[in-house]
Amino acid sequence: MSAILLSTPRRAPSRLLIAAAIALTLVAPAALAQSKIEQQMSAEQFKAAGLDQLSPEQLSNLNAWLNRTLDSETSKAVVKAKEETRAQVKHENRGFLGSGSREAVVARMTGPFNGFARGQTYILDNGQEWRQDDNADLPGVHLDAPQVRITPSVIGNVWYMAVQGYNTRAKVTRTK
């Protein structure tokens, strides 16, 4: 199951693209906030809600409050979306140089595992691909879709793969 990868590693979408997408999804509600409630509701809805009983000043105050509330909630949603996106990108880029995440990867290999071999590419069920960079071996092992744990070294950007049930670890580099 050795493979040579000629393409560059696929990265997650840039933060700028993600931020732009978030901003676009929030533009429509913000645009609605600028219009008055009486323009957003039908006459029947407006009357059914009892809003026709309000004085012009009360209606103006209600519109101002709704706009402030929507602006506040929109700002909170943007902050939350940015935080979630940042965490997701960091999680998905584990193993790449400069990803910043030191969280272990626990997944299953897709297909059979017949021991470690230098240059071997291991494809995981989470879509990640890792290539073995050292001479670690695990002779006589034949497993189907074993669970693996890939952990970072204490110092540097080196990652090690271990197959569940075995102590041997192979030095690996993430390629996809």
- 149 pLDDT more than 80: yes
What's the pLDDT band for 24 if we cut at 50, 70, 90?
Answer: low
- For residue 47, the enclosing domain spans 15-92
Radius of gyration of the chain (CA): 27
Q: At CA 152, angle to CA 141 and CA 129, rounded to 5?
A: 60
Distance CA 160, CA 100 (A): 16
Query: CB burial class (10 A; 0-12, 13-18, 19+) of residue 79?
Result: exposed
- 122 pLDDT more than 90: yes
- 65 pLDDT more than 70: yes
Residues 85 and 34 grouped into a single domain: yes
The number of distinct structural domains making up the chain is: 2
What's the pLDDT band for 153 if we cut at 50, 70, 90?
Answer: confident
Structure tokens at 118: 């230098």
Say if 57 falls within a structural domain. yes
Residues 64 and 42 grouped into a single domain: yes
What's the pLDDT band for 15 if we cut at 50, 70, 90?
Answer: low
Say if 7 falls within a structural domain. no
- 52 pLDDT more than 90: no
Residues 19 and 88 grouped into a single domain: yes
